[in-house]
Amino acid sequence: MKRVYLLCALCLSAAVGFGRQANRELFCVLPFSPKAETSSSIEVAVTIDQQSPVIGCGTAVTLTASVTGAAELSWLRNGEYIDGATTNTFVANQSGTYTVIAVALTCQAQSQPVEVIIESPLNASILLPSGNTACEGESVELQATGGNAQWQWYFEGIAIPGATNQNYLAEAPGSYGVVGNESSLCASTSSLVQVVINPLPEVTLVWDGSPTICADESIVIAASLSGAEELEWYYNGASVLIGETTFAASLGGEYYAIATNVLTGCSSETNSLTLEVLPVQNIAIAAIGGTSFCQGQSTVLELINGSGSVQWQASGINVEGATGSVLHVSSEATYSAIVTDENGCASYSNNVLVEVLPLPTTALSIDGSASAVLCGNDDELLAQAEVGDVYVWYASGEVLPGEVSSTLLINEPGEYAVQLTNEFGCVAVSEPLFVEQYGLPQVMLEPSGTVTLCEGQTLYIEAVSNAANQFEWYADGVLLSEEFNGYLETSEAGEYTVRVFDESGCDVMSTPANVQLLSVDTPVITDGGITDDGQLLMVASASGNQWYFNGEAINGATQSTYVATASGAYTVISIEDVCESALSEAFEVVISSIEEYGETLLVYPNPCTDILVIEGMSFQGLPFTVYDAAGRIVLQGLAAGARTQIDVHELHAGMYRLVLPGGERVTFSVVR
């Protein structure tokens, strides 16, 4: 260990506190210098215990100073004092050159410098910018990351000579790693990556036949695939097809393919094949007299040039026996000719479309049907011809002047026809249409006009006709799909008509029968109270009523009221026009009688609401008593004469007994 000594001389003059020693001299002595002759000397030395350089791997390092004869220390970095650094240890967290100065009184010593290097910690890893796979003949780029460092690449655990750059191109398959700052305390080793080098596809092209063909022919080139390859075909260096395993070649020249393994993406070029194409003749056919004609006509086709054997075709099918240069045709088809030369190469002519133009469709119809009957003297028929360009109408073989449209109005019987020329100029005449004339059938409804139908009843309507054999019934103008007889039964209001047809197809519609549906409300009998003549019964309808007693009609009882004088069930019906209502609910009238002193007493109405009447008492002042169902007296009084009215409107609804002085009693009820 080196020591550094500094020698200094200080002469002290007399001062307070030194006394007799004020004239002494003090020297700082270096050990390698001759010892100064002095009365006093101090030896000062300082060293840093660590050897330079001192390396910290991502963390601070501790420096230690050894001092001789010093009272104070000061640490410096790069020649600059470090504030507060005055102990014999110092934690350095920055790179730089560190020294220590030791001070004793006025003498000082400085240590040798020590270099401190604080390195950033590495985290070596390998990036694969383009993945870890490549094709044979290519390489995989490896990129070291993790900090600034000196790198060393390894393959299968062995250092690769000269591979010290940050990037490395791997051409062989296997395991690769990298070490950063290998000789440093901060050395870092990456994880291993696997590099895959995929083989190139091996595909061979072969002919499916002879490599010499005639023009307009083709030959299939097949590829012998050994794996998951996809082909891109090339003709004379230009791409022509992608994705197919075969290629139909028809042009002379060089063919090859680029085979790509769809799993690895590796491509290679196949072998090449050269195709020879023999020429063919340029032949043609032409039509003599045109290529279209009306049905029943014909035309002639002729081969213009070409030598060799000839075969005519119609729509791709050989025409039997057609081997000459001329062909007569009368049917529609696409015609062509094939000429085969001495090399066996077939030449194909142009196609000629021969059209057979249709004749006009000349069917006639009357109002959309084929029937031709005039019904009645005022009937008219509209004859309709098929679509055409020119129309000529005939009646009994004579042209009808001015009739040139697609329709003809017929109002006389006879024989009619039409000559039609279509857009192609083809002419045809229709079959004759015979028109006959008949009279109209007659029909009437029974009943007809306005008919009143009571609700719940059924009306029978009959169609009376002189010649009908078919019927169509209508309700409010709508055809009744299930009514085709000569009569109709209905229970609904509406306007009813019938259409009748005779055997000639003539028809006529009847005048309507207007059916009105009448509903009469069921009357309700209400209590009109007691009158001098008896129990008054009432209904709402003012007239058109019929009263019944115990189910028997009461003669002359047709008003809105009726006075009942006998016990029994009273009912009533209401009558409107010819319709009757349902029978009302029965109204029970009870008129009670008792024998008293040989005379008949009448007590009514029973039940009652407000007034109870007693008739037949022979004298006034006869007492009476009314008891309730519990036997309690609820009402007493004296008879007023032969006809006495008892007011019971304050009595509650229920059963009561009327008792007279002789012991006669009558039970009656009060209703509310």
- How far apart are alpha carbons 88 and 66 in whole angstroms? 7
Q: State in words which class domain 204-278 has.
A: mainly beta
Question: Quick one: 174 exposed, middle or buried, by C-beta within 10 A (0-12, 13-18, 19+)?
Answer: middle
Of residues 620 and 151, more confidence is placed in: 151
What burial letters (b/e) apply to 293-318, b meaning 16+ CB within 10 Å? bbeeeebebebeebebebebbbeeee
Confidence of residue 14 (pLDDT cuts 50, 70, 90): very low
Residue-wise pLDDT for 578-595, tens only, equals 888 899 999 888 765 443
**Sign for the pseudo-dihedral over CA of 244, 246, 247, 252:** positive
**Mean pLDDT of the 628-633 span:** 79
SS (HEC) of 603-636: EECCCECCEEEEECCCCCCCEEEEEECCCCEEEE
Amino acid at 127: L
> Is pLDDT above 60 for 28?
no
Confidence of residue 159 (pLDDT cuts 50, 70, 90): very high
Q: How many CB atoms lie within 10 A of CB 659?
A: 16
Which token pair is 181? 């700052």
Confidence of residue 370 (pLDDT cuts 50, 70, 90): low
pLDDT at position 576 is: 86
For residues 634 and 628, is the Cβ–Cβ distance under 8 A?
yes
Q: Which pTM was predicted?
A: 0.37
pLDDT at position 371 is: 65
Among 5-9, 212-216, 504-508, the least confident range: 5-9
> Is pLDDT above 90 for 196?
yes
**Sign for the pseudo-dihedral over CA of 291, 292, 295, 299:** negative
The secondary structure of residue 22, as a DSSP letter, is: G
Look up tokens 């590099």; give the residue.
195
**Mean pLDDT of the 540-556 span:** 88
> Is pLDDT above 60 for 30?
no
Closest listed residue to residue 504, CA positions, set 600, 377, 376 = 376
- How far apart are alpha carbons 514 and 69 in whole angstroms? 148
Please give the CATH topology (third level) of the domain spanning 443-518. Answer: Immunoglobulin-like (2.60.40)
Phi, psi of 22 (to 5 degrees): -60, -20
Residue-wise pLDDT for 429-475, tens only, equals 998 989 888 888 899 999 999 998 888 889 999 999 988 889 999 99
Q: Let me know the angle formed at the C-alpha of 235 by 233 and 238, rounded to the nearest 5 degrees.
A: 85
> Is pLDDT above 90 for 318?
yes
- How far apart are alpha carbons 528 and 545 in whole angstroms? 17
Choices 2.40.50.1020, 3.30.1370.60, 2.60.40.10, 3.40.630.30: CATH for 285-357: 2.60.40.10
- How far apart are alpha carbons 541 and 524 in whole angstroms? 10
Residue 90, CA distances (Å) to 49, 64, 65, 98 in order:
12, 7, 8, 10
Quick one: how many helices (H) and strands (E) in the chain? 0, 73
Percent of the chain with pLDDT over 70: 90
For residues 406 and 391, is the Cβ–Cβ distance under 8 A?
yes
pLDDT at position 662 is: 67
Residue-wise pLDDT for 390-413, tens only, equals 999 999 999 999 999 999 999 889
pLDDT at position 381 is: 85
3-state helix, strand, coil in the chain (%, to 5): 0, 50, 45
Instruction: Please measure the distance between the N-terminal and C-terminal CA atoms of the chain and give it in whole angstroms.
Output: 142
Superfamily of structural domain 1-119:
Immunoglobulins (2.60.40.10)
pLDDT at position 319 is: 96
Point out which residues pair with 346 in neighbouring strands. Answer: 340
Superfamily of structural domain 592-670:
Immunoglobulins (2.60.40.10)
Point out which residues pair with 595 in neighbouring strands. Answer: 600
Please give the CATH topology (third level) of the domain spanning 125-198. Answer: Immunoglobulin-like (2.60.40)
- How far apart are alpha carbons 64 and 55 in whole angstroms? 15
Sheet containing 326-329, strands listed edge to edge, beginning at the edge strand earlier in sequence: 285-288, 299-303, 326-329
pLDDT at position 171 is: 95
Q: State in words which class domain 365-438 has.
A: mainly beta
**Sign for the pseudo-dihedral over CA of 119, 121, 125, 127:** negative
Which token pair is 139? 């390489």
pLDDT at position 302 is: 94
For residues 222 and 203, is the Cβ–Cβ distance under 8 A?
no
For residues 589 and 567, is the Cβ–Cβ distance under 8 A?
yes
SS (HEC) of 428-489: EECCCEEEEEECCCCEEEECCEEEEEECCCCEEEEEEECCCCEEEEEECCEECCCCCCCEEE
Given phi > 0 = left and psi -120 to 50 = alpha, else beta, which region is 2?
A: beta
> Is pLDDT above 80 for 600?
no
**E strand or H helix that includes residue 300:** strand 299-303
For residues 581 and 574, is the Cβ–Cβ distance under 8 A?
yes
Domains 125-198 and 204-278 share a fold: yes
Question: Quick one: 250 exposed, middle or buried, by C-beta within 10 A (0-12, 13-18, 19+)?
Answer: middle
Sheet containing 61-68, strands listed edge to edge, beginning at the edge strand earlier in sequence: 45-48, 61-68, 89-92
pLDDT at position 456 is: 85
Residue-range domain boundaries for the chain: 1-119, 125-198, 204-278, 285-357, 365-438, 443-518, 526-589, 592-670
Amino acid at 482: E
Residue-wise pLDDT for 352-361, tens only, equals 999 999 999 8
Confidence of residue 510 (pLDDT cuts 50, 70, 90): very high
pLDDT at position 420 is: 93
pLDDT at position 394 is: 94
Phi, psi of 133 (to 5 degrees): -120, 150
For residues 604 and 590, is the Cβ–Cβ distance under 8 A?
yes
Which token pair is 291? 């290529």
Mean residue pLDDT across the chain: 86
The secondary structure of residue 659, as a DSSP letter, is: E
pLDDT at position 618 is: 57
**Mean pLDDT of the 331-357 span:** 93
